[in-house]
């Protein structure tokens, strides 16, 4: 059974860069039938898809975040990572990493436990 675990700083200063890593265990990030994605949830609010990456490095970004977002994969470590630049308080959220299949009708079938990132000085 695949497991995902987020890691990274819990506090980021405004205008700084938010960096998170998701470590995948129990399965290979090189499995060609899956995308590896990030979803975030502001405190008390709903879910927002942030972006996804394929093992080859192909990326798919939420248009509202695309200009600030980079997602990349490290196959040697079975990890994928997110970098979000120029953050503001609006980026404060629980960030989840999740797996979904390579069809547009796919569901996010495995999730990490989530990590809270607060943007504050």
54-113 binders of another protein (CB under 8 A): 60, 62-63, 96, 100, 104-109, 111-113
Whether the CB-CB separation of 120 and 63 falls below 8 Å is answered with no
In the bound complex, what is the minimum distance in angstroms from residue 114's beta carbon to another protein?
A: 5
Torsion angles phi and psi, residue 95, rounded to 5: -105, 125
5's tokens? 């675990």
Contact positions with another protein (CB under 8 A) in 8-47? 37, 39, 46-47
**If we measure between CA atoms, which residue out of 83, 40, 21 comes closest to residue 4?**
21
Give the interface with another protein as residue ranges (CB under 8 A): 37, 39, 46-49, 52, 60, 62-63, 96, 100, 104-109, 111-114
């Amino acid at each position: 059974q695949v497991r995902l675990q987020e890691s990274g700083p819990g506090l980021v200063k405004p205008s700084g860069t938010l960096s998170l890593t998701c470590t995948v265990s129990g399965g290979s990030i090189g499995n060609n039938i899956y995308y590896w994605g990030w979803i975030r949830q502001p405190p008390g609010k709903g879910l927002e898809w942030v972006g996804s990456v394929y093992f080859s490095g192909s990326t798919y970004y939420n248009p509202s975040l695309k200009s600030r977002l980079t997602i990349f994969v490290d196959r040697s470590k079975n990890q994928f990572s997110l970098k979000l630049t120029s953050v503001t308080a609006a980026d404060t959220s629980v960030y989840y990493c999740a797996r979904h299949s390579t069809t547009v009708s796919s569901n996010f079938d495995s999730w990490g436990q989530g990590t809270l990132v607060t943007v504050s000085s």
